[in-house]
Structure 1
Amino acid sequence: MKRAMDEQSPGDGKGSEGAGSEGRDGEGAPSASPSSREPAQNLFGQIGGSRSGSARPERRSGERRMNPEAVSPDDPRQSASAPYPRDASYTPRPEVSQPDAPLDAVDDNGALTRLDPNYKLLMRIGALFVAFFVLLAGLIADAAIQAGGAPIPFGLVSVPAFIAALIIAIRVPVARFNARGYQMGADRLRVVRGVLTRSDTVVPFGRVQHIDVDQGPIERALSIATLTLHTAGSHNASVKLPGLAHADAVAMRETIRAHIKRESL
């Protein structure tokens, strides 16, 4: 009997020792109440008190797993944090075409408009006056030489003067008339003149301050006029275009005035 009690005592000691350890563990780490576990569950998003390692929602039977890259741009399930779709196509901005140049723009190499033929007659009248004074000067010089008793034949000065007077009266007006012309553009006027010294002036209508149409006594008789453009600035402040028919000069003045008025609006 004593032997049986000795064999039983080690088991009873282990049992009491285990009970004691359970009591000590229970006293050292008290179990958490359900109310204290709820904030932790809500914080980590666990359901039903499951551990953080096992907080993975189970997939129902028959439910397909959605690929986030396969979501279409029109799918309402798309995340609001991605306002632009991945495969969006954007229409390029249309190119703005530059306005074409006006058809009647001034061309530096373009043909010039000739002046009125009566202007050639006016130039010839002026050349006749110059030729007369040249011939008169030659005759006076010859007379003075002969009066001085110099052994020089008469006509040594007057004959060259006569030839020069013919050139001035006949050739010079034609050359001057052919060298003059103008070109009327949409927003500017080009005036060309000069035989020995060529002058090519372009006057923008935006610089014109006022316009004059002048006629002298002979110009009124020949029905021609001179168009004068007064511009801003000191260089070429006044550009004259003589030899225009009076009607053409008035029409050009009104055209330029209408352009200035339209640009000022």
Structure 2
Amino acid sequence: MRAGFIIYRCMSDTGGDDADKNGKTAGSARQLFGHKGGAKPWDAPRTPPPPPPAESKDTSSAPYPRDATYTPRPSAEEKPAASSEAKAELESQLGPLDDEGELTKLHPNYKLLMRVGAIIVALVIIGGAAVLELALSQEIDFPTGIILGPAVLVALFIAIRIPLARYNARGYQISRDRLRVVRGILFRSDTVVPFGRVQHIDVDQGPIERALDIATLTLHTAGSHNASVRLPGLGHALAVEMRETIRAHIKRETL
């Protein structure tokens, strides 16, 4: 009897544990699938998405006012930089163009600039002649001075005479409505530029020209032949005054 009671008690405890497990499983199923029998997760009502956040108006970039006016600041090129002496010099040069008339000479410092360039060419000639004579004297019995002597004479002629001849062969004439530029020693060039054909004007200066206070006036014209006419060797103040005079003439014609 005692053995039968123990077996019955063990079976009762096992059944209780199974019931607890089945109860927990059923509770989990009810939480997952709902209280109704046969309910599915996708049958549950969907939660609507939250509304999008309201767009904030950016007040940092306000529209440009219609009644605003823009006043450009005058650049350095538009300011009259020429002195009264340059204006007086230009006024004295204005007159009718004459092919037989006397040309206006360039600035005296331009002669020095051309002489510097000629000296550089002369040094190159002397150096080349010295190297050639040295190479020939090492190969054969070559007399000294056969090449270097004439090269030195040619270099002196280039450094002394050529700059002076080029300076005297250059000049210009200016009137109220045109500019005449003459240059060349062997090949003479005589160019007349009407101000009405000028599109824009440049005043250029290199480092040596800046040190000598001279400049180059360049006129860019419409057309393929002689589209750019250069007049080097002008004083910087005179070149600026000529540019402003030509620019004023162009503005009067376009109005």
Same fold (TM over 0.5): yes
Q: Does 1:142 align with 2:123?
A: no
Instruction: Give the RMSD, CA atoms, in angstroms.
Output: 0.9
Partner of 1:45: none
For 2:151, the equivalent position in structure 1 comes to 161
Q: In the alignment, which residue of structure 2 is the partner of 1:3?
A: none
CA distance in 1, matches of 2:206, 2:200: 20
Task: Name the TM-score, length of structure 1 as normaliser.
Answer: 0.60
Shift of 1:145: 1.0
Instruction: Point out 4+ residue stretches in structure 1 off by more than 3 angstroms.
Output: none
1:108 match: 99
Distance 2:206 2:144 in 1: 41
Matched, 1:207 2:202: no
Q: Supply the distance in 2 between the matched residues of 1:233 and 1:148 (Cα, whole angstroms).
A: 57
Q: Counterparts of 1:146 and 1:242 in 2: how far apart (Å)?
A: 44
Q: Secondary structure at the match of 2:199?
A: strand
Matched residue type, 1:109:
E
Residue 237 of structure 1 is matched in structure 2 by 227
1:251 lines up with 2:211 in the alignment: no
The 5 A counterparts of 1:45-194 are 104-149=95-140, 151-194=141-184
Q: Which runs of 5+ in 1 are unaligned?
A: 1-102
TM-score, normalised with respect to structure 2? 0.63
Give the C-alpha shift of residue 261 in structure 1: 0.6
**Cα distance, 1:168 vs. partner?**
0.6
Partner of 2:187: 197
Alignment of 1:6-21 (within 5 A): none
Shift of 1:152: 2.6
1:120: how far off?
Answer: 0.2
Aligned equivalents of 2:95, 2:143: Cα separation in 1: 62
1:146 alignment partner, SS class: helix
Q: 1:99-154: CA deviations, max 9, x gaps? A: xxxx92211111100000000000000000000000111111110110112x3311
Aligned length: 162
Shift, 1:195, TM fit: 0.6
CA distance in 2, matches of 1:264, 1:109: 32
- CA distance in structure 2 between the aligned counterparts of 1:185 and 1:148, rounded to whole angstroms: 63
Write out per-residue CA displacement over residues 13-64 of structure 1, whole angstroms, 9 at most, x where no aligned residue: xxxxxxxxxxxxxxxxxxxxxxxxxxxxxxxxxxxxxxxxxxxxxxxxxxxx
Question: In structure 1, what is the Cα distance between the partners aligned to 2:134 and 2:182?
Answer: 43
Q: What is the rounded CA distance, in whole Å, between the counterparts of 1:156 and 1:144 in structure 2?
A: 13
Show CA shifts across 1:190-214 (max 9, x none): 0000011100000000000000000
Give 1:219's aligned residue: 209
Report percent identity of matched pairs.
68
Cα distance in 2, alignment partners of residues 154 and 145 from structure 1: 10
Between 1 and 2, higher relative CO (CA 8 Å, sep ≥ 6) is seen in 2
Cα distance in structure 2, aligned partners of 1:104 and 1:181: 15
Question: Partner of 1:226: helix, strand, or coil?
Answer: strand
The one-letter code matched in structure 2 to 1:179 is: A
Q: What secondary structure sits across from 2:201 in the alignment?
A: strand
Structure with max Cα Rg: 1
Name the amino acid aligned to 1:134: I
Q: Which residue of 2 aligns with 1:261?
A: 251
